[in-house]
Amino acid sequence: MIKYPDYENCIAGIPNSILKNMGIEPGRRTSELLDRYLAEKAYENIVVILLDGMGKNIIDANLSGRGFFNSHMSGTLSSTFPPTTVAATTSILSGMEPCEHGWLGWDCYYPQIDKNVTVFLNKETGTDEPAEAYNVPWRYCGYEGAADRLVKSGRQAYMATPFVEPFPDSFEKIVDRIEELCGKPGRKYIYSYWNEPDHTMHEKGCFGEDAKSLLKKLEKQVRQLCMRLNNNRTLIIVTADHGHIDTKGVALTDYPKICECLLRLPSIEPRALNFFIKPGMEEQFVNEFNRKFSDNFMLLTKEEVLKKKLFGEGSEHAAFRDMLGDYLAVATGALCIYNTREEADFFIGAHAGLTEEEMTIPLILVEC
């Protein structure tokens, strides 16, 4: 079933609710559900634990309905569009929607340098070469995160992720870091991130024993952390950036009549692809794409994307429209379109389409 992003009940509201609760005007939409919970008590520690890819469908399929996560399920939220790590984690870090921050997907086209760039790696897409000598995404789409705003205002905020010192490289170490930070005096916000179960599900699928055993372990680790923090001063917010589904992949290079229409290879995501079309080739592209993929993808013009406000309802980043391309292909079925055969043959689990499973994420609240 097609499910569009709901920006009134979205992951981007989480940091805005936390800013509001800690006395800073967020300037953007908050999460009404989280607002109500935060208003009940002045928590000393507000902790976000984001488990990559752990959508509501993944919890429902792999964990007990009477388990720790489900017994503390306070509701669900919408991911961003696309429901993918680059876009959604940037939204939970910044409180901005993708059209505002410009971190649209794993690969983005940057008109300032006329290149597709793998965003988190700062490499030219499909190569091991740096896109530029500087960090392209941060130069052209830099933003101020909620934690940065708190620290700048004299409040406490911390990150417990593999990318920030002391660089915890396992979930065990992240949990230990959270516990250590919660022991510091004073009110504080702690944001944590781990790349599972997403990493495993990309390679092994979403519903096998690998995913199930991993999710049980993650659930147990969070439960044990909450037991150790049993001081009545901490709110743990467990959520995800997006859901996951099992998919099949095809390689764009196997469709020469489509490829000959393109100015460059598509970017964003294999389930949300932007296409820049050579002048005079629009009709061939639309006809060929729909002939091959209309059962699994909805092909939209740039104007239709903007009218639907797929990437958000906020003020657009200056480069946003130029990053979009002429057409956007959005997955509604279980197919991915990769730029290479190697990728198409490798990945099983995927996300970034407009299905309910990919779009719906949990809001798990634990007072401890």
Q: What is the mean pLDDT of residues 294-312?
A: 98
| Predicted pLDDT of residue 28 | 96
Mean pLDDT of the chain: 97
Residue 230 above 90 pLDDT? no
> Considering only CA atoms, which of 86, 84, 77, 85 is closest in space to residue 29?
77
Query: What CATH code would you report for 13-96+143-244+357-367?
Result: 3.40.720.10
How many other C-beta atoms lie within 10 A of the C-beta of residue 4?
13
What tens digit of pLDDT does each residue of 131-162 get?
999 999 999 999 999 999 999 999 999 999 99
Cα 312 to Cα 9, 29, 82, 101, 220: the distances in Å are 12, 12, 10, 10, 35
Residue 231 above 80 pLDDT? no
What tens digit of pLDDT does each residue of 90-120 get?
999 999 999 999 999 999 999 999 999 999 9
| Predicted pLDDT of residue 223 | 98
Residue 25 above 90 pLDDT? yes
Residue 352 above 80 pLDDT? yes
| Predicted pLDDT of residue 186 | 96
Q: Which helix (H) or strand (E) holds 330?
A: strand 327-331
Domain ranges (residues) in the chain: 13-96+143-244+357-367, 248-347
Q: What is the mean pLDDT of residues 4-15?
A: 98
| Predicted pLDDT of residue 111 | 98
Q: Which helix (H) or strand (E) holds 109?
A: strand 107-110
**Which class in CATH covers the domain with range 248-347?**
alpha beta
- Cα–Cα–Cα angle for 266, 97, 347, nearest 5°? 40
| Predicted pLDDT of residue 64 | 97
Task: For residue 19, name the pLDDT band (cuts at 50, 70, 90).
Answer: very high
Q: What is the mean pLDDT of residues 178-204?
A: 97
Task: For residue 1, name the pLDDT band (cuts at 50, 70, 90).
Answer: confident
| Predicted pLDDT of residue 193 | 98
Q: What is the mean pLDDT of residues 301-310?
A: 98
Task: For residue 60, name the pLDDT band (cuts at 50, 70, 90).
Answer: very high
- The secondary structure of 160-195 as a DSSP string is ESTTSTT---SHHHHHHHHHHHHTSSS-EEEEEEE-
Relative orientation angle of helices 171-182 and 209-228, to the nearest 10 degrees:
20
pTM of the full predicted structure?
0.96
Q: What gap in Å lies between CA 243 and CA 359, rounded to an integer? A: 6
Same fold yes or no, 13-96+143-244+357-367 and 248-347: no
| Predicted pLDDT of residue 349 | 98
DSSP 3-state percent helix, strand, coil across the chain (nearest 5): 35, 25, 40
| Predicted pLDDT of residue 232 | 77
What tens digit of pLDDT does each residue of 71-81 get?
999 999 999 99
